[in-house]
Amino acid sequence: MSHFDDLPRRDRNHEIEGEAIAAFQTRLTESGAFILQAPDRKDYGTDCQIEVMADGQATNIRVHVQLKGTESALNADGSLSIEVRRTNLNYLLMQPYSVYVAYHAPTGSLRIRTAESVAHQYEHGGNNGPTSGR
């Protein structure tokens, strides 16, 4: 065995991240209602911006997106819970219409929830930070 055989391994989190990005991009393309703008280069809490399309025209109306992926089991009601740090939530709240998109790897499904609804849950449900969506 050569010392060149000792290389970093890609962990499952990186695989899930790649699956999440691919699923999200596919969904955007299929919808025809949004286009993916360039991913944020310095990710402080927004992974990308999507632009609203209207009758085939770019509108420059943009939505900030934080994409998360998980293999966690679904809740009993079929919803999905993910952890959202308060600092990340505060960052997203600076832009109107920001959303969390959660990718559930076992089902290949995407769930969406607005940052405003997550903030509402924080205010009424405690400070633990999980959020869920269908």
pLDDT for the residue numbered 9: 85
Task: Measure the CA–CA gap between 52 and 129, rounded to whole angstroms.
Answer: 29
pTM: 0.83
Per-residue pLDDT of the chain (134 residues; tens, 9 = 90+): 677 888 888 889 899 999 999 999 999 999 999 999 878 777 788 999 999 999 999 999 999 999 999 999 999 999 999 999 999 999 999 999 999 999 999 999 999 999 999 999 888 875 545 555 55
Radius of gyration of the chain from Cα atoms? Answer: 17
Task: Measure the CA–CA gap between 115 and 72, rounded to whole angstroms.
Answer: 21
